[in-house]
Amino acid sequence: MWTAVLLACVGCYLLKLAGLSLPERVLHHPTVERVADLIPVALLAALVAVQAFSAGTSLTVDARALGLGFAVVALLLRMPFLVVVVGASVVAAVARLL
Amino acid sequence: MTDAALTPNERSGIVRDGLAVGVATGAYGIGFGAVSVASGLSVAQTCVLSLLMFTGASQFALAGVVAAGGAPMSGAATALLLGTRNTLYGLRMAPLLAWRGWRRLAAAHVLIDESTAMSVNRGTTEAARLGFLTTGWSVFVLWNLATVAGALAGEAVGDPRTFGLDAAVGAAFLALLWPRLASRRNVLVAILAAAVALSMVPLTAPGVPVLAAGGVALLVGVLARRPDRTGAPADGAPAEGAPADGAPADDAGREDSAAGGHR
């Protein structure tokens, strides 16, 4: 775990430094920019799905789905980040008690 | 660095904005600390991520992949993919900040969504540097303090399922994703990516589905010839200039979504 943590830390720093050091035209291409814009969207959406609906290598629907449902409602109502996250936990915890 | 081209009023305004963004991200830091420990990282590993990686979405991603049972290296790879965003910020900020040597090395560490958003639209190098530094370092300090608090709280809870902390992880990712769903193309990519990831869950080792979903971004980005709402010309010309040319209201929205978006 430590190796992965430290490698990722160094890598992320080098990615930042590369941006400040490379000449601007190197990555100045519409396709590169489009892909770079879409990568966070795709990865975050995948993380949401995998977090909420999988356990190991199987697909499951459990209390976490209810928590995610609360998060959707809270985001639609423009609630702050902490309310979204804490509320989702509370909903999931209560659902497990019932 | 201070050659008094800015009036005291302008200076304090920029500093105040930077500090406000720093305080706002503290909340996310608590969330990260708790989520990371709930994912199975130690308090020390959680704090090292905030100190050394210091880019919120990547940190959440590493913890999230590990929480889903993925190999730590898959988590690291996902974090790096998300970190490529900062490279593009750097390309845009480099001519504006115009730093070399050790200053550039130090500035690179706090090159994140928030510091970029709070300085990219400043007219002068001095104003951009001031906005970049106050935002970057106030976020750094408060993000790290909040991480420690969140990690210790998460550790005190013990089993993450007790208070539904395992559900908090997905909610946190959704909150990070939400501001990016403004355009139809992004919504499409998000749905496709989620579907690809879920369909691969039974077939591959944990952690791989998320990385595979990154392929959706690559595919759509390469195939999409038409610009999506941004009106960028097909080749070469100033797609990158568009944000800076926007009306003030548009800029404010951008800062908002960048500051709230990725932490």
Burial label for B251, CB within 10 Å (0-12, 13-18, 19+), is: middle
> B86 and A12 in contact by Cβ < 8 A?
yes
- Ranges of residues in chain B with a pLDDT under 70 are 1-4, 226-263
Rounded to whole angstroms, the Cα distance separating B198 from B196 reads 6
In a domain, residue A93? The reply is yes
- Residue in chain A nearest B46 by alpha carbon: A5
Rounded to whole angstroms, the Cα distance separating B179 from B135 reads 20
Q: Does B147 touch chain A (CB under 8 A)?
A: no
In a domain, residue A46? The reply is yes
Q: Which domain holds residue A91?
A: 28-97
- Residue in chain A nearest B225 by alpha carbon: A31
Looking from the CA of B28 toward its CB, the CA atoms found within 13 Å total 26
- Residue in chain A nearest B240 by alpha carbon: A28
Q: Is A80 helix (H, G, I), strand (E, B) or coil?
A: coil
Query: Chain A contacts of B262, Cβ < 8 Å?
Result: 40
Q: 């990516």: which residue's tokens?
A: B193
Q: Does B230 touch chain A (CB under 8 A)?
A: no
In a domain, residue A82? The reply is yes
Q: Does B192 touch chain A (CB under 8 A)?
A: yes
In a domain, residue A8? The reply is no
In a domain, residue A23? The reply is no
Query: Chain B contacts of A28, Cβ < 8 Å?
Result: 91, 236, 240
In a domain, residue A10? The reply is no
What number of helices (H) and strands (E) belong to chain A? 4, 2
* The total number of structural domains that make up chain A: 1
In a domain, residue A19? The reply is no
Distance from CA of B173 to the nearest CA of A (A): 6
> B175 and A59 in contact by Cβ < 8 A?
no
Query: Chain B contacts of A73, Cβ < 8 Å?
Result: none
Q: What is the pTM of this model?
A: 0.79
Residue A30: the pLDDT is: 83
> A93 and B163 in contact by Cβ < 8 A?
yes
- Predicted ipTM? 0.89
Query: Chain A contacts of B237, Cβ < 8 Å?
Result: none
- Residue in chain A nearest B105 by alpha carbon: A17
Residue B226: the pLDDT is: 64
pLDDT at A20 over 50: yes
Note the pLDDT tens digit of each residue in A31-89.
Answer: 888 888 888 899 999 999 998 998 878 898 999 999 999 999 999 999 988 889 889 99
In a domain, residue A21? The reply is no
Q: Is A59 helix (H, G, I), strand (E, B) or coil?
A: strand
